[in-house]
């Protein structure tokens, strides 16, 4: 019998980096019948999260047993739900390591990936054909 998800992950499936990493976790969770739900922020699932798309695109969000976390704490919650990654929790959750990982994620990785996301959106908008007269 499949368990109801107690953990949900909100990620940007249109981001190649995010989609690759979270896709890997989703595959692992599915293969191992783990109670984790993966929601693409570009779908109707975003409405359940109480976040706007821009905020959600800035970092990883995980909802576990009613508690919303983001960034490195969210990764720690997600990894803790997957037996294969519990070793990573033990390493990253060490005082000092967690703070360094959070700084790197918050001030380097997440902003770079977010700016890349915005650049892709601008390129897509520029490549879209102009609307016909009288069309919005």
* pTM over the 0.95 mark: no
- The SS3 assignment for 94 reads coil
Between CA 69 and CA 58 the distance in angstroms is 13
In the prediction, which pLDDT does 3 show? 65
Distance CA 76, CA 54 (A): 23
pLDDT at 134 over 70: no
Per-residue pLDDT reduced to its tens digit, 22-59: 999 999 999 999 999 999 999 999 999 999 999 999 99
Main-chain dihedrals φ then ψ at residue 61, nearest 5 degrees: -120, 135
Name the nearest CA neighbour of 63 among 43, 77, 76, 52: 77
CA–chain centroid gap for 117, Å, is 13
> What are the extents of the domains in the chain?
7-127
pLDDT of residue 1: 46
Only one residue has tokens 């703070």, namely: 99
């Amino acid at each position: 019998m499949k368990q109801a998800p107690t953990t949900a992950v909100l990620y940007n499936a249109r981001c190649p980096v995010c989609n690759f990493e979270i896709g890997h976790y989703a595959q692992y969770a599915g293969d191992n019948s783990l109670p984790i739900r993966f929601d693409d922020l570009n779908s109707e699932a975003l409405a359940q999260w109480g976040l706007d798309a821009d905020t959600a695109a800035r970092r990883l969000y995980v909802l576990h047993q009613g508690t919303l976390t983001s960034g490195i704490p969210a990764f720690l919650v997600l990894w803790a739900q997957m037996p294969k990654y519990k070793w990573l929790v033990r390493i990253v959750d060490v005082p000092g390591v967690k703070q360094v990982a959070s700084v790197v994620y918050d001030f380097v990785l997440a902003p770079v990936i977010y700016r890349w996301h915005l650049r892709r959106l601008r390129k897509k908008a520029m490549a879209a054909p102009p609307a016909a007269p009288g069309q919005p």
